[in-house]
Structure 1
Amino acid sequence: MVLPSAILLPLYLYPSVTTDPWKPLYDSLTAHPNTQFDIVINPDSGPLLVGPSDSALSDYVVAVSKLRTYPNVNIFGYVHTGWGAASLQPALLSNISRYATWNTYTPANISLDGIFIDEAPNAYDPTIYTNLQTATNLARSSELPKIILNPGTVADAEYFALADYIIMFEGAYANFNASEMAALSQAVRANSSVILYDSTLAEADQNTLVNQLVDLGLGSLDVTTTNTYDTWSALWTAFTQQVSSAVGVT
């Protein structure tokens, strides 16, 4: 069964408890309880080098525990690989293990659902594949079972054995070619994601694009007017409504 497209949100905005900058997300989760949201958190280009009991993570504890009250959320911890650089493998494994400690934190429920691996390779290389396999195996054995790989471009099919989703395009809307996604098999599209930033589309045109992407059967998507992941799209509320309508849950 092909699942409806989810909203994929790289959320690199610091969750200050005094200003509550994640409120637009909480509002959308409430407004669209039957839409799946896959949220990527990124405390410090990965986890901070402290445990969740450290005061440096106190704002994240509050914000993530609030996210955990919504049943339509998957939460992913951000890590990066330097495009598969062997020198970063020890840090990659350490960061995954550090995120795993969030799942055993007892004062609050800040458990994560999986790992978002940024700067993933797109071309198959047996050594890099083995390194990524070691990393994804560690995540799954650490109760972080869901994996997103982000090469940001169309990836070789071998990597789908390691991931639930692969981001097959991340870039400016002006550079996006939907025909590249349409050329993928339906089975591949169901496990593929796109992130389009710097969108200049009006709300109605964004709606047309969202319907096109959902009709392609993509696993998840993000369309934003910004060129950074630490601020909200001017059309965020419209986007969440458009995806919910396109997948037929509102």
Structure 2
Amino acid sequence: MYPDPGCWDRVFTAVFRHPTQHFTFVINPNSGPGPGKFPDAEYTDAIAKLNVYKNVTLIGYVHTAYGTRDLTQVIAEIERYAAWATYSDLDIHVDGIFADEAPGELGEGKIHLGYLKTLHAHTKRAFQELGLQGYFVTNPRKIVPKAFYGYADSIVSYEASFKTMISPDTLFTSSDKQMSAGANIDRQAVLIHSFDGSSREQEELVQMLVKKGVGEVYVTTCGPGKGEGDYSRYSEYWEDFVTEMEKANEAALQDD
């Protein structure tokens, strides 16, 4: 969603009203950081407003074409995102990278694992040199071999519509012991679009995912876009979703 005047107001409001709920936002000016050294004025103003809050993590979008995109191009974009921290007028830093269309198979000779290992290393170096976390998220949209967790802080194991979602009870299982399955569930992210249930049904879904231990969750009524969710609009239940996530996380902490 481009930050035209007023467009991100519901985001700012949610972050302000729910200080105990952590938010991770993917910043995507132009399928990457855009052509300039820094983003345009609309983005700089909006990012700076989000960076005021301690319960927000911002990560910059890059795509990898499932491990076929030239590594030098992706690395250059990672370094440009990291350099946003050097902007002198406002605090527009992002905390890491969201690598979309990430490979989910090891590849011949583990070439795809090596690809992500390289991106992970460059992300950590580029951001940590500037005192930032270098949070690295990959999005293969599937359960991946456990080896990938050595080179990611979080992995999107599901991104698809609510209708095509397999049984929640088996969403994170795998018959292959070399796959991540539930072993790394706290480092898995789930992005569910085209949700067509009620707000109460969404709450039950959120409670189930949080109770199961999923690290990051997003549910939207919007979608699909080009094969994935339409993230350029607010979900019909955006405010309800944030409240439900906060309640579910608080309940999970009490259970612990």
TM-score (norm 1): 0.89
**Paired position in structure 2 for 1:148:** 137
Q: How far did residue 34 of structure 1 move?
A: 0.6
| Equivalent position of 2:205 in the other structure | 209
Deviations 1:37-94 (A, max 9, x none): 0100100000111012xxx611110000000001000000000000000x42221111
1:113-159, CA deviations, whole angstroms, 9 ceiling, x for partnerless residues?
A: 10000000111121122122111111111115101100011111111
Distance, in Å, in 1 between the alignment partners of 2:156 and 2:115 is 19
Equivalent positions of 1:45-60 (< 5 A) are 45-52=31-38, 57-60=40-43
Structure 2 equivalent of residue 130 of structure 1: 114
Deviates more, 1:179-188 or 1:63-72: 179-188
Query: Take 1:182 and 1:163, find their aligned partners in 2: how far apart are those partners?
Result: 18
Q: Pairwise CA RMSD of aligned residues? A: 1.5
Residues matched between the structures, number: 232
Equivalences for residues 64-143 of structure 1 within 5 A: 64-85=47-68, 87-125=69-107, 126-143=110-127
Q: How far apart are 1:187 and its partner, in Å?
A: 3.9
Unaligned runs of 5+ in 1: 1-12
Q: Distance in 2 between matches of 1:77 and 1:180?
A: 31
Change (3 A) 1:156 1:186: closer
Which consecutive segments of 4 or more residues in structure 1 shift more than 2 A? 179-187
- Distance verdict in 2 for CA 1:218–1:243, change over 3 Å: same
Alignment of 1:236 with 2:238, yes or no, is: yes
| 2:167 aligned with 1:167 | no
Q: 1:182 to 1:81 in 2, by over 3 A?
A: closer
SS, match of residue 40 in structure 2:
helix
CA 1:243–1:112 in 2, change beyond 3 Å: closer, same or farther? same
User: What TM-score do you get using the length of structure 2 for normalisation?
Assistant: 0.87
Q: Which residue of 2 aligns with 1:5?
A: none
Structure 2 CA distance for aligned equivalents of residues 36 and 120 of structure 1: 24
**CA separation of 1:151 and 1:182: change in aligned 2, threshold 3 A:** closer
Q: Percent identity?
A: 29
1:180 corresponds to 2:166:
no
Partner of 1:7: none
In 1, the alpha carbon distance for the partners of 2:237 and 2:181 equals: 30
- SS of alignment partner, residue 176 of structure 1: coil
1:106, distance to aligned residue in structure 2 (A): 1.5
Q: Is this contact kept in 1: 2:66–2:103, CA < 8 A?
A: yes
Larger CA deviation: 172-181 vs 229-238: 172-181
The amino acid that maps onto 2:214 is: L
- Give me the whole-angstrom Cα distance separating, in 1, the residues matched to 2:148 and 2:206: 26
Aligned-partner Cα distance in 2 for 1:169–1:57: 32
Q: For residues 4-56 of structure 1, give each alpha carbon's deviation from its aligned partner in whole angstroms, at most 9, with x where no partner exists.
A: xxxxxxxxx0002xx3201111111011101110100100000111012xxx6
State the alpha-carbon separation in 1 of the partners of residues 182 and 64 from structure 2. 28
Letter in 1 for 2:246: S
If asked which structure has higher relative contact order (CA below 8 Å, sep 6+), I would say 1
Q: Which runs of 5+ in 2 are unaligned?
A: 128-132, 174-179, 224-229
